[in-house]
Amino acid sequence: MKFSSRVEVDAPAPSVFAELSDFVAIDALAQRRAILVRRTDTLAAPGPGMSWLVDFRFRGRMRHMDVTLTRFETPEVMEYHARTPGFEILCLLQLVALARARTRVIVTLEVRPRTLGARLLTQSARLGRSALERRFDERIHKLGDRLDEKLNRD
């Protein structure tokens, strides 16, 4: 199942990329939302190979996810690969400079089932695909609004 959305931010691409790749701030945000994030790599600088173990509660149960940054091309592309016991998830963030101070952020999320139970869940989710697409689009637009607000404070 694949989702895609885009949002435009009134800031230059390098600034938007820097904000999206501020992993310390992202970890802090996750912790405030009761998501446990543990870094598992030993890289000194951001780049491919960074990895995290993520534990979070979803639908009343603790879930575990192993996330790896597979592509990191400043200031254009970040790609994450995540694995859970039932799913494999690919997340691609692309930044396109529209003007000096305007950037389009394109987010693509692909969820692939790995087990029979996950396959059944994916099939039932396809019935409500339009609602899932709408929620995904809303979240990406909220991300764009937060980026706009943070990068355009004067």
Parallel/antiparallel/unpaired status of strands 36-39 and 51-58: antiparallel
How confident is the model over 64-110, as pLDDT tens digits?
A: 999 999 999 999 999 999 999 999 999 999 999 999 999 999 999 99
pLDDT digits (tens, 9 = 90+) for 11-53: 999 999 999 999 999 999 999 999 999 999 999 889 999 999 9
Which domain covers residue 142, as residue numbers?
2-151
Q: How many structural domains is the chain composed of? A: 1
CATH of the domain at 23: 3.30.530.20
